[in-house]
Structure 1
Amino acid sequence: MKVTLVQMNSVGDKALNLANARALIERAVVQERPDWICLPEVFDFIGGSRAEKMAAAEELPGGPAYEMCQALAREHKVFIHAGSILERT
């Protein structure tokens, strides 16, 4: 089994983080041909205040980060460990 670890600098902009993660996953698939891709902890959002974190949280299963990882895993036939995703409870 070949594992690729993705490093990225997440910020307080969820859409930007997801776009960056998508690009890095796509690049890893082409360059490394992994079986399993691991994203870093809180790859989808690193914000400052509690209110910002709550606004970026998503219900699981579902939500933009979850759905993106699921779709990319299916498309490229790889396992994706999504580090952690801010979850709304």
Structure 2
Amino acid sequence: MQSTFTGLDIIIANTASKAVLRAAAAEFVEKYDDVDYFPSFEIVNNSAHSLAWRPDRLHVNPEMVRHIVDTFYRTYFQTL
């Protein structure tokens, strides 16, 4: 079992930290009308591993990065 410097299992620590960050982002978006959340993290994590990740499963495939950037652009800039 891998662990962090806190002694927690790496999967538990990673999941908890991502949940805190996502909750904070949601709260911020709710507070300000001119702020939006773009789900790039969720796009990667909810895609097939073979499409999202390089074989080392540590780095995102360049094609996935391109897809996310293109989606971001279409969402926020082509509608102007």
Q: TM-score, normalised by structure 2?
A: 0.31
Larger Rg: 2
Q: TM-score, normalised by structure 1?
A: 0.28
| Greater fraction of residues in strand | 1
